[in-house]
């Protein structure tokens, strides 16, 4: 049941929707639904959302919200990100509660991945 005030959906910029689908399918196993040439919805990502076509990208340095994903095997996920064409922008570091790294996808959007 949807509740008033709960985060329900995320929309993320993408310069190239085909690269986005390939990257997140390969690294995290996400599935997508195409809604025309300029929008894809995410399936099996833990929250509903989608990617919209734009020349812009989202980074923490630009003041954008940081989307943080979870991994049970942080080092393996880091290697999968690299192998799929992502760039590690902050290598694995400790923080209160766990460890994480930051990466950019092939479109230049920044994300983090954390683990206990």
Question: Does residue 31 sit within a domain?
Answer: yes
Range of the domain at 40: 10-115
Average pLDDT over residues 34-49: 95
Question: Does residue 78 sit within a domain?
Answer: yes
> The CATH number of the domain where 111 resides is what?
3.10.180.10
Q: How many domains does the chain have?
A: 1
pLDDT at 86: 98
Average pLDDT over all residues of the chain: 96
Question: Does residue 3 sit within a domain?
Answer: no
pTM for this entry: 0.94
Average pLDDT over residues 47-74: 96
Question: Does residue 2 sit within a domain?
Answer: no
Confidence check: pLDDT of 44 > 90: no
Question: Residue 4 — pLDDT band, cuts 50, 70, 90?
Answer: very high
Question: Does residue 73 sit within a domain?
Answer: yes
pLDDT at 2: 79
Question: Does residue 56 sit within a domain?
Answer: yes
Q: What is the DSSP string of 66-106?
A: PEEEE-SSHHHHHHHHHHTT-EEEEEEEEETTEEEEEEE-T
Please state the separation of Cα 39 from the chain's center in Å: 16
Instruction: Give pLDDT tens digits for 79-107.
Output: 999 999 999 999 999 999 999 999 999 99
Taking only Cα atoms into account, the Rg of the chain, rounded to an integer number of angstroms, comes to 14
pLDDT at 105: 98
Average pLDDT over residues 55-81: 97
Question: Does residue 1 sit within a domain?
Answer: no
Question: Does residue 28 sit within a domain?
Answer: yes
């Amino acid at each position: 049941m949807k509740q008033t005030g709960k985060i329900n959906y995320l929309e993320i910029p993408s310069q190239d929707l085909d690269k986005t689908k390939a990257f997140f399918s390969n690294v995290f196993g996400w599935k997508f639904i195409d809604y025309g040439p300029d929008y894809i919805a995410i399936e099996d990502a833990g929250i509903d959302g989608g990617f919209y076509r734009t020349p812009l990208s989202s980074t923490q340095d630009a003041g954008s919200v940081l989307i943080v994903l979870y991994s049970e095997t942080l080092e393996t996920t880091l290697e999968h990100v690299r192998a799929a064409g992502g760039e590690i922008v902050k290598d694995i570091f400790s923080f209160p509660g766990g460890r994480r790294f930051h990466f950019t996808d092939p479109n230049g959007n920044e994300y983090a991945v954390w683990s206990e």
